[in-house]
Amino acid sequence: MRADVYFVNMRALEKRSLLEKVDDLFERAGFPALIEKGDLVAVKVHFGERGSTAYLRPIFVRRVVDKIKTCGGKPFLEDTSTLYTGSRWNAVDHLQTAIENGFTYEVVGAPLVIADGLTGKDYVSVSIDGKHFKEVKIGSAACHADSLIALSHFKGHEMTGFGGTLKNLGMGLGCRSAKQMMHSDVLPVVDEKVCVGCGKCLKWCPAGAISLLGSGEAKKARIDSEKCWGCGECTVTCPHSAIAISWKAEPENLQEKIVEHVLGALKEKRGKVGFMNFLMDVSPDCDCWEWSDAPIVADVGILASLDPVAIDQAGVDLINRSQGIKGTKLGEPGSRDKFRSLYPAVDWSIQLRYGEELGLGTRKYNLIEIG
Ligand code: SF4
Ligand code: SF4
């Protein structure tokens, strides 16, 4: 059976704003039926790292918050802290960064909650029947909420090919140790011929696994594989692309582990969850970086669905059908698979295939264009 995925494009043919179109999506996708009067409704967003500019615009979040309130729900915005030592790696820094990025109460109309607590240790263990895990650790506020609306900025991702709803929920709702377990098969390797010994990667490593060996211009980064958590931050942080990802096990494990965390996060919320993907400012990398590279396609529109697999499949398809933008990280603007072109070693379809296999949803969908 196909899932319904509702879509609004960027045109304003009837002089209607995108904000009004968000209201339409909320209604047409059936979100009001997910919320009962008095429900504590988690709105899962990514607040963006300090310096990132491509993350989801708070004004869209406000629109969804207002709709939840009209349904009688009590919305709050949530995310979990990061594994790496950036500007969101504990609740205090995370909330400060979110406020600097525009997620103030005045703008979004709802309180912000870091779902896994002050230091990423506040979680609920959820039993699942996965290939990798029989139990996953989900941020406690995410588990205790009555309903969930996930708002995801759709973009490229260096380790999963693209990041949409599944990535936002799986990695985004796991507590810190869960993130560590998801990343445990990643092993970075330094190319000493390329490394210039600048030390930038050391600053981002959460495990203290990188040291600089040698002296003067001969300094080179060295990674202690025993200490490394496999978060992959150093591979993107290095300005000289001197660190490549290698894998201790099959590369598909990371995506499968993320999807198993989605299974855990949604386990107690059957009939209480809705998803929106924002195909705007489609940057090639995650919003976890302290920069945002140029978008690889023009803004496409917004999707809404009750199926987390179908909405991600629809997002990939719409972006792959768009014309790539020259001069961006996308090497071949005409490529039919934009995400494979960005990250040739990553098969992004694994997360969708495994999501389907676990019964989270279907890759087959009806795209229903409205507005
Ligand atoms: S950031 Fe890159 S170039 Fe600088 S020390 Fe680390 S690996 Fe070497
Ligand atoms: S060395 Fe390992 S733990 Fe440190 S940033 Fe790189 S991948 Fe993460």
- DSSP secondary structure string for all residues of 31-94: GGGG--TT-EEEEE-----TT---SPPHHHHHHHHHHHHHTT-EEEEEE---SSSSTTSSHHHH
Claim: this prediction has a pTM higher than 0.85: yes
The confidence score (pLDDT) of residue 72 equals 98
Dihedral pair phi/psi, residue 149, rounded to 5°? -120, 120
- Cβ proximity of 314 and 367 under 8 Å: yes
Closest ligand to Cα 241: 1
d(CA 283, CA 293): 6
pLDDT at 190 over 80: yes
How many A from CA of 179 to the centre of ligand 2? 13
C-beta of 190 in contact with ligand 1 (< 6 A): yes
- Cβ proximity of 48 and 285 under 8 Å: no
The confidence score (pLDDT) of residue 22 equals 98
The confidence score (pLDDT) of residue 233 equals 79
pLDDT at 113 over 90: yes
What are the structural domains, with CATH classification, of the chain?
A: 3-182+252-369 (3.40.50.11440), 186-247 (3.30.70.20)
pLDDT at 247 over 80: no
The string of pLDDT tens digits covering residues 306-339 is: 999 999 999 999 999 999 999 999 988 788 999 9
The confidence score (pLDDT) of residue 331 equals 83
How many A from CA of 343 to the centre of ligand 2? 19
DSSP state of 297: B
How many A from CA of 298 to the centre of ligand 2? 33
- The mean per-residue pLDDT over the stretch 199-211 comes to 90
pLDDT at 248 over 90: no
Q: What is the mean pLDDT of the chain?
A: 94
Residue bearing the CA closest to ligand 2, atom 4: 205
How many A from CA of 347 to the centre of ligand 1? 27
3-state secondary structure of 95: helix
The confidence score (pLDDT) of residue 217 equals 77
Residue bearing the CA closest to ligand 2, atom 6: 234
The string of pLDDT tens digits covering residues 63-83 is: 999 999 999 999 999 999 998
Closest ligand to Cα 235: 2
Confidence tier at 108 by pLDDT (50, 70, 90): very high
The confidence score (pLDDT) of residue 19 equals 97
Q: Which of 211, 229, 254 to mutate to test the pocket of ligand 2 (most atoms within 8 A of CB)?
A: 229
C-beta of 223 in contact with ligand 1 (< 6 A): no
How many A from CA of 246 to the centre of ligand 1? 16
Q: What is the DSSP string of 208-266?
A: --EEEESSGGG-EEEE-TTT-----HHHHH-TT--EEEEESS-THHHHHHHHHHHHHHH
**Ligand 2 atom, smallest distance to 232 CA:** 7
Q: Which of 84, 198, 203, 219 to mutate to test the pocket of ligand 1 (most atoms within 8 A of CB)?
A: 198
How many A from CA of 207 to the centre of ligand 2? 7
- Residues in the ligand 2 pocket, defined by CB under 6 Å: 188, 204-207, 209-210, 223, 228-234
Residue bearing the CA closest to ligand 2, atom 8: 231
pLDDT at 111 over 90: yes
Sign of CA dihedral 12, 15, 17, 21: negative
C-beta of 364 in contact with ligand 1 (< 6 A): no
Report the length, in residues, of the chain. Answer: 371
* Residues 6 or more apart in contact with residue 205 via CB below 8 angstroms: 84, 85, 233, 234
218 Rama sector, left if φ>0, alpha if ψ -120 to 50, beta otherwise: alpha
How many A from CA of 224 to the centre of ligand 1? 14
C-beta of 242 in contact with ligand 1 (< 6 A): yes
The confidence score (pLDDT) of residue 231 equals 81
Q: Which residue has the tokens 């870091």?
A: 114
C-beta of 276 in contact with ligand 1 (< 6 A): no
The confidence score (pLDDT) of residue 166 equals 98
Q: Which of 85-94, 108-117, 165-174 has the lowest mean pLDDT?
A: 85-94
The confidence score (pLDDT) of residue 239 equals 86
**Ligand 2 atom, smallest distance to 186 CA:** 7
- The mean per-residue pLDDT over the stretch 98-120 comes to 97
Percentage of residues in the chain having pLDDT higher than 70: 100
Q: Beta 40-44 vs 147-153: how paired, if at all?
A: parallel
Closest ligand to Cα 223: 2
The string of pLDDT tens digits covering residues 121-180 is: 899 999 999 999 999 999 999 999 999 999 999 999 999 999 999 999 999 999 988 998
The confidence score (pLDDT) of residue 216 equals 78
The confidence score (pLDDT) of residue 196 equals 94
**Type of residue found at 27:** E
Strand segments, DSSP code E, in 239-343 are 243-247, 273-279, 301-305
Closest ligand to Cα 201: 1
Dihedral pair phi/psi, residue 15, rounded to 5°? 55, 40
How many A from CA of 73 to the centre of ligand 2? 40
